[in-house]
Chains A and B, each alone.
Chain A
């Protein structure tokens, strides 16, 4: 740790803002969204999206395919693959690869979940498994862009930006949209900051990247040698001189700038408290498997709960190790070792605190993996797959304990109740009370929306 100071006491804060009421600081422009009225009653107020970057295998998690196991090692029937986009298996022989671990029914609902995920299996009755996802892009970067913005074309806002644009943030001191990443597993996927960019929306709706090791936010720490009080004096003088200038030229931008400095100041003072786990019980830490602020997925899950408790609207946690072209078993063990326990703990913790009912949790990757074998490494792996894959959702108005949609007998094509990424977005917005067709933004002469020209609300999974 550098000597620079992170926190400013509450006394300092009240001194800083002598004449500012909170309302004037956090007026409609600052934290309110553009929607004065919701389109539907909101079932979810906030979202935690657990992004399993790299594309976890649906065939080793939530999509049970006995027929694929039967055909293990045999050629993949050409009827499935002809004319389909293929990534690294281009030009290779296509062989069926059955699931590497057993599936069993869990909970009262009897949902089929693979043995790689014992903890998530323990909350089978709280989650809704969707087995019929589809996306448009077969390479990671564009597929993430589809998952976040609804299209692979650059420059569109991400879903967290759309949500905060529509609904605003409930926090006065923290950004409405926060992103954290963690690593482990196979060679980690690069995640571009465009994945949480606000695109053509005003940049205040941009996701802010937090780090659970090192400085939590860029430049949030006072410079070396500058104490809390010294910094506070500087900010006071900036405010005084800006206000003095405002008296003579009345540029409303100055007022806005003063307000932003005050918000920055509040961020500086509230972030240390957010990042400090010392008020968490040993039991809680243990349930997540969190060992403190170490940048792990477990720490990030706990932090996500702390953020939604403090009013952050949209939290995205990336785990970047799920690209298993080879050595699938080894890497599934590693990735599930990182993600299974904290994901389940987060949902249990939210439930226990009464937050799950209005917090929507979504778990899944940018695509799934082929039913076909890929042999990059010492043992079996799977290539990228976009025609059918699985995710699960929980809380926030989602029907618990159900499975929705299905792929064909080999887990290749989603055939039953297909849910395109645009449909996932439409459903997510609907749960938050937003009609995806009505949350639009005019750019280059056209009204854009998260679901572009598509999107179906999957009513069947809404409680």
Chain B
């Protein structure tokens, strides 16, 4: 296989030869002739081409973990390559001389001494062997792993882009994002071109689902379709990004990452007090709080100077992990479990690093040691909590997880009047005298009764007075009561919330093999992983014990490339449903080489400027690449590595629910507050205990809130959420899987919330398509037609008009169902599903039960369509 490639460009290195995957598949086995530069042999990049091979096939025995290292050979460290082997045979890789490189000859060996050994089960293929040989021949040059390397993302200049006269080239020359993508596309194949821009209906639906998780109303669609100009598009984007629904949508992602749930997770899975934290996240996204500040408040809000209540609520991040209240839990064992849990979550959320592997041994693939693991854990050793819960509200729902306190929802705090405490004091002053007198009389009466029942039988007691202590108690109780009343009047939501309180840090030891009973390991101090940029402590604080605040600052040091890359990649995935590095949770050696490293770095640097997540997401959705059609063109760009089309992912669980509620008009758009409980199958919590539990569905409006607010029971996640792949939030879920199962079909078909939504959609459609009221006679019944109602339902659900086939099929279904209902007495029971609707209501609507039945059946079909639950 001979490979040709362009020479180095001054602006961008030749990253067009995307991956070893392509090479080894032989997809580029023929000479590639392209318009630019010189043709020559491929320059192999270690980080892109070689390291993945070594990591996958060699590091398990010749990697960072000394415990499992064979023959003293270390291939993850370039120093190991040229070091004389223990066997005295020579060196592993002799730069420029593959024939005198022992590793090359062992890899190419056809005998039993072949590497990797046959029983390892991961043999190298010929292309990989050749690549290793060529890399050694080219000098066996080392390169830093892409994720750890400094950011470098210079935007390709327009005049440096390959020329062409297609219409799309002009469009794709405007934004930096498109220029990066186009360049890579053009360099690979001049005939490669992206899809055309999607039609306005598809575009507006895409934007709504990607930015808000909700569908557009038919009116919003009409507005955009009548004026689908770039300016209108920008306006739409800005309007959506500023909407509360966008904050809700972003919060949903964030809660998956930080594993937010309403219950403790282990054993009895009791409820804990966490919802105000969700409101903090909502408020932060609504205010577009800079990401560094958002992060710092969560990791170390309690350590900020004079923290506000919202900053303390933010610090609940440190308490979101799974905890146990099981009797007989051992304090030390659980403290160690919690430490490990925090390290796993912190490192995956902000570093996309799978530190969890280093709990028991040095990482097999990544330069992360066991010492790194426990040293990172030591940052969290000052968090006040108990490892076991003997005595603290055992087996109660909700349980107590001290420290926790009564707080205001961060979303409502702004509505607190400036003179709130003055108002309280005024009311207190009004009501206190009467309250004191009432209490005094009560005390007097008690004493009189006591005196009466005593042997002396003397009921005369001198007038008693309250002690100053009693006065104080009564006053503070009354004040609390008045405050509560006032909050209720102002509709300010309050509740308990866990938070972080720092105590004297506990001793943290490295645990050999992760065994908490083994206390022989060294004591470690807070320290960030050695392979990442060193922590810069503020001047004058060198030598002090680093804390969570320092850890947060370290994330945002200019020389730390991981957090900006991680977040840029995840923002990209919110819009493109695939990361530039396709593994959103692992930027380690076993992760995925980014398809467009410079683009990723460019976005990361944009983020680093001011940590403004919204503006970067805005830039992403304003690109042409984002706006193109999702149609697959057979044979072109199979893995969509060049972004020649958009993807068409199924909606997330919450969006599937929200969509059904929104199109039916049932959705209650209240933002924030305590979690709510929609309908759930009876007995679903039968396997929970300590205490036994019954699920009581919410009443009224709370049944129709967005999925974001659903009670998140870690052990028994609502079956609807579960069927559509929402995670249990025991661990960080950087990216949800998307499955396609019969259970999911059964939910959409039969779950009461979806049947109720279908019924409401049917009613709504009738109401919205009635003939206008008669001016002459208000008594004349406003008529409706099935065909128009069905068309309306279709538009509400899919934002477009049905085509002829669709229209005919649905009308036919309507007719058939109407007939069926007329001969089926049971059909009327459809009115009883979920929250029953009264038959009188139908009379007002001039509908018969059978008509509603038939329309509901049509609506059920619409809510179940693939197009309804897919973002195109």
Bound CA–CA A86/B517 (angstroms):
11
| A445 close to B267 (CB less than 8 A) | no
Determine whether the beta carbon of B750 is less than 8 Å from that of A225.
Answer: no
Q: Which residues of B contact A437 (CB under 8 A)?
A: 121
Alpha-carbon separation in the docked complex, A192 to B261 (Å): 15
Q: Are B357 and A87 in touch, CB under 8 angstroms? A: no
Which B residue sits closest to A384, measured CB to CB?
B328
Once the chains are docked, how many angstroms separate the CA of A250 from the CA of B121?
38
Pairwise interchain contact B689-A188, C-beta atoms closer than 8 A: yes
| Chain A residues near B717 (CB-CB < 8 A) | 193
Interface residues on A, range: 35 or more
- The answer to whether the Cβ of A253 comes within 8 Å of any Cβ in the partner chain is yes
Binding site for A on B (CB under 8 A): 121, 265-269, 322, 324, 326-330, 333, 354, 356-357, 364-365, 517, 583, 585-586, 588-591, 631-632, 648, 650, 681-684, 686-690, 714-717, 719, 722, 725, 728, 730-731, 737, 739-747, 749-752, 755, 805-806, 809-810, 813, 816-817, 820-821, 824, 826-833, 853, 857, 860-861, 864-867, 870, 872
A88 is an interface residue with CB less than 8 A from chain B: yes
The answer to whether the Cβ of A119 comes within 8 Å of any Cβ in the partner chain is: no
Contact with B along A48-74 (1 / 0, CB 8 A): 000000000000000000000000000
Task: List residues of chain A with CB within 8 A of the CB of B683.
Answer: 211, 214
User: Which residues of B sit under 8 angstroms from A219, Cβ to Cβ?
Assistant: 681, 719, 743, 746-747, 749-751
User: Which B residue's beta carbon lies closest to that of A201?
Assistant: B737
Given contacts A83-B517, A154-B730, A219-B749, A225 and B690 within 8 Å (CB-CB): no
**Contact yes or no, B731 A155, CB < 8 A:** yes
List A contacts of B830 (CB < 8 A): 223-226
Sample (8) of A-B pairs whose CB atoms are under 8 Å apart: A139-B324, A141-B267, A193-B728, A194-B728, A222-B750, A223-B750, A245-B865, A264-B742
Q: Is B861 a contact partner of A208 (Cβ separation < 8 A)?
A: no
- Choose one: A235, A240, A245; the contact of B867 (CB below 8 Å): A245
- Could you say which residues of chain B place their CB within 8 Å of the CB of A191? 687
Closest chain A residue to B729 by CB distance? Answer: A154
A46 at the interface (CB under 8 A from B): no
Q: Does A221 contact B (CB under 8 A)?
A: yes
Residue contact A203 to B741, C-beta cutoff 8 Å: yes
Docked pose: A245 CA to B794 CA in angstroms: 14
Question: Within the assembled complex, what's the spacing in Å between the Cα atoms of A90 and B588?
Answer: 41
Smallest CB–CB gap between B803 and chain A, Å?
8
Contact residue among B327, B632, B746 (Cβ-Cβ distance under 8 Å from A264):
B746
Pick the interface stretch among A255-263, A347-355, A387-395, A421-429: A255-263
Report if A197 contacts B (CB, 8 A).
yes
- Determine which residue in A181, A191, A225 has the highest number of CB atoms from chain B within 10 A of its CB, and name it: A225
| Chain B min CB distance to A374 (Å) | 10
In the bound complex, residues from chain B placing their C-beta under 8 Å from that of A189 are: 689
Partner of A190, one of B268, B330, B820: B268
Given contacts A218-B681, A225-B853, contact A139 B865 (CB under 8 A): no
Chain A neighbourhood of B650, CB < 8 A: 253
A209 to chain B, nearest CB (A): 8
- The answer to the question of A17 belonging to the interface, with a C-beta cut-off of 8 Å to chain B, is no
Instruction: Please state if B826 and A225 are interface contacts (CB–CB under 8 Å).
Output: yes
Interface SS of chain B: helix, strand, loop or mixed? loop
Most A CB contacts (10 A, CB to CB) among B719, B746, B751, B857 go to: B746
- In whole Å, how far is A462's beta carbon from the nearest beta carbon of chain B? 22
- How many Å lie between the Cα of A268 and that of B747 in the bound state? 12
In this complex, what residue of B is CB-closest to A221?
B750
**Which of A172-227 touch B at CB < 8 Å?**
181, 183, 187-194, 197, 202-204, 208, 211, 214-215, 217-227
A129 to B866, CA, bound (A): 52
Q: Which residues of A contact B267 (CB under 8 A)?
A: 139-141, 190
Cβ of A20 under 8 Å from chain B: no
CB distance from B830 to the nearest CB of A (A): 3
What residues of chain A lie closer than 8 Å to B813, measured between beta carbons? 233-234, 237
Task: Say whether A142 contacts B740, CB under 8 Å.
Answer: no
- A155 CA to B872 CA, complexed, in Å: 31
The answer on a CB contact under 8 Å between A181 and B687 is yes
> Are B866 and A154 interface neighbours, CB within 8 A?
no
Chain A residues contacting B329 (CB-CB under 8 Å) are 87, 139
The reply to whether A233 and B857 form a contact with Cβ atoms under 8 Å apart is: yes
Q: Which residues of B contact A282 (CB under 8 A)?
A: none
Q: Answer whether residue A274 sits at the interface, using C-beta atoms and an 8 A cutoff.
A: no
Q: Answer whether residue A241 sits at the interface, using C-beta atoms and an 8 A cutoff.
A: yes
- Pairwise interchain contact A225-B832, C-beta atoms closer than 8 A: yes
Give 7 closest A-B pairs by Cβ, nearest first: A445-B590, A87-B328, A225-B830, A225-B829, A192-B715, A264-B742, A88-B328
Instruction: Note all chain A residues with C-beta closer than 8 A to B730.
Output: 154-155, 194
Residues of A within 8 A of B716 (CB): 192-193
Q: What would 11 more interface pairs be, CB under 8 Å, given A187-B690, A445-B588?
A: A83-B517, A85-B333, A87-B328, A88-B328, A138-B333, A181-B687, A219-B751, A227-B827, A238-B861, A244-B809, A437-B121
* Most B CB within 10 A of own CB, among A244, A251, A383: A251
Most buried by B among A155, A223, A230: A223
With the chains together, A300 CA to B432 CA distance in Å?
A: 64
A187 CA to B354 CA in the complex, in Å?
39
What B residues does A444 contact at CB under 8 A? 354, 583, 585-586, 590
Task: State how many angstroms separate the Cβ of A170 from the closest Cβ of chain B.
Answer: 16
Tell me if A90 and B731 are in contact (CB < 8 A): no
Residues of A within 8 A of B517 (CB): 83, 85
A13 interface residue per 8 A CB criterion? no
Measured in the bound complex, the distance between the Cα atoms of B728 and A317 in whole Å is: 23
Task: Collect the chain A residues with CB atoms within 8 Å of residue B364's CB.
Answer: 446
B861 touches A256 (CB 8 A): no
Cβ of A114 under 8 Å from chain B: no
CB closest chain-A residue, reference B755: A223
| Nearest A residue (CB) for B872 | A249
Residue from A192, A204, A214, A226 whose CB has the most chain B CB atoms within 10 Å: A226
CA distance A250 to B648 in the complex (A): 12
- Cα distance A188–B692 when bound, in Å? 9
A311 to B507, CA, bound (A): 54
Cα of A254 to Cα of B630 in the assembled complex, Å? 14
State whether A190 touches B687 (Cβ < 8 A). Answer: yes
Which B residue's beta carbon lies closest to that of A245? Answer: B867
Query: Which residues on A sit within 8 Å (CB–CB) of B865?
Result: 238, 241-242, 245
A204 to B739, CA, bound (A): 7
In the assembled complex, the CB of B657 is this many whole angstroms from the nearest CB of chain A, namely 14
Q: Is the pair B829, A141 in contact by a Cβ cutoff of 8 Å?
A: no
Contact B751 A244 (CB under 8 A): no
Q: Does A122 contact B (CB under 8 A)?
A: no
B326 touches A251 (CB 8 A): no
Question: Are the C-beta atoms of B742 and A249 separated by less than 8 Å?
Answer: no
Given contacts A153-B356, A445-B590, contact A218 B820 (CB under 8 A): no
A229 contacts chain B at the CB level, 8 A cutoff = yes
Q: In the complex, what distance in Å separates the CA atom of A245 from the CA atom of B865?
A: 9
Shortest beta-carbon distance from A348 to chain B in Å: 28
Q: Kindly report which residue of chain B lies nearest to residue A209, judged by CB atoms.
A: B687
- With both chains docked as a complex, state the minimum distance between the C-beta of B73 and any C-beta of chain A, in angstroms: 21
Q: How far is the CB of B265 from chain A (nearest CB, A)?
A: 8
Give the docked Cα–Cα distance between A320 and B324 (Å).
19
CB distance from B77 to the nearest CB of A (A): 19
Q: Do A446 and B357 touch (CB < 8 A)? A: yes
Say whether B681 contacts A215, CB under 8 Å: yes
A267 on interface, CB distance cutoff 8 Å:
yes
Question: In angstroms, how far is the closest chain A Cβ from the Cβ of B368?
Answer: 12
A438 within 8 A of partner (CB)? yes
CA distance A10 to B348 in the complex (A): 50
* A 146-163 binary contact with B (CB < 8 Å = 1; else 0): 000000011100000000
Residues of A within 8 A of B833 (CB): 223-225
B866 touching A242, Cβ below 8 Å = yes
Q: Is A463 an interface residue (CB 8 A)?
A: no
A244 to B741, CA, bound (A): 21
CB neighbours of B268 from chain A (8 A) = 190
User: What's the Cα separation between A410 and B683 when bound, in Å?
Assistant: 42
Asked if A34 is at the interface of the complex by the 8 Å CB criterion, the answer is no
Q: With an 8 A cutoff between CB atoms, is A3 at the interface? A: yes
